[in-house]
């Protein structure tokens, strides 16, 4: 479960990383993109080498930290090529992060205080159900625009009954 939580953090910033790097592709700056990707890969390799001295959990923690550093590196490198600044990216992404953190804390409470074995299917099923239900509920209540966009896209693909 801790590994999955860390991988979720890494995956959360992936769309923003792709956005920032695609800006360079669109602008035809493949040389800059190559340098940034090389630097990010070097950072990831250094994180991997450092993490190998510790246990598997700390390896994943260090790789997660290196992903966040790479994300900020991407923002710094691309900030002159678009008007979607770090402040705006954080502002747009913060409702999703807040909802995710609330749902995570609920699952963490279940993990810590339920008395159910951490590796049991009951615990995993309960946490997954609570997380999904809470995430969906909070996304609807707080009108999370990312969630509502996905919901509208799904609805548009379903044929309506006439």
The model's pLDDT over 64-95, given as tens digits with 9 standing for 90+, comes to 888 888 888 888 888 787 777 778 877 877 88
Give how far the C-alpha of residue 89 lies from the chain's centroid of Cα atoms, to the nearest Å: 13
Report the pLDDT value the prediction gives residue 27, as an integer from 0 to 100: 85
Q: Which residues contact 17 (CB under 8 A, 6 or more apart)?
A: 67, 70, 71, 74
Report the pLDDT value the prediction gives residue 138, as an integer from 0 to 100: 87
Percent of the chain with pLDDT over 90: 1
Kind plus residue range of the DSSP H or E element containing 56: helix 56-78
Report the pLDDT value the prediction gives residue 38, as an integer from 0 to 100: 92
Selection from 11-15, 98-102, 148-152 with the highest mean pLDDT: 148-152
- Say if residues 107 and 131 touch (Cβ distance below 8 Å): yes
The whole model's pTM is what? 0.62
State the Cα–Cα distance between residues 90 and 23, nearest whole angstrom.
Answer: 18
The DSSP-derived string for 61-97 is: HHHHHHHHHHHHHHHHHHTTS-S--HHHHHHHHHHHH
Q: Report the sign of the C-alpha dihedral through residues 142, 147, 153, 157, in that order.
A: negative
The DSSP-derived string for 107-141 is: HHHHHHHS---TTSHHHHHHHHHHHHHHHHHHHHH
Tens of pLDDT, residues 34-63: 898 899 899 989 988 888 888 888 888 888
DSSP state of 142: T
Q: Is the pLDDT of residue 153 over 80?
A: yes
Tens of pLDDT, residues 106-132: 877 877 777 776 667 887 788 888 888
| C-alpha angle 59-62-67 in degrees, rounded to nearest 5 | 125
Report the pLDDT value the prediction gives residue 1, as an integer from 0 to 100: 58
Report the pLDDT value the prediction gives residue 8, as an integer from 0 to 100: 72
């Amino acid at each position: 479960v801790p590994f999955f939580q860390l991988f979720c953090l890494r995956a959360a910033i992936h769309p923003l990383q792709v956005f920032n790097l695609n800006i360079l592709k669109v602008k035809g700056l493949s040389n800059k993109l190559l340098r940034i990707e090389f630097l990010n890969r070097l950072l990831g390799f250094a994180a991997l080498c450092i993490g190998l001295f510790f246990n598997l959990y700390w390896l994943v923690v260090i790789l997660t930290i290196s992903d966040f550093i790479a994300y900020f590196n991407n923002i710094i490198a691309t900030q002159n090529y678009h008007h979607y600044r770090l402040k705006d990216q954080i502002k747009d992404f913060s409702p999703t992060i807040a909802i995710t953190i609330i749902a995570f804390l609920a699952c963490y409470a279940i993990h810590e205080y339920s008395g159910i074995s951490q590796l049991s299917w009951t615990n995993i099923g309960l946490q997954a159900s609570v997380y999904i239900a809470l995430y969906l509920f909070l996304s609807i209540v707080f009108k999370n625009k990312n969630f509502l966009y996905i919901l509208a896209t799904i609805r548009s693909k379903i044929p309506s009954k006439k």
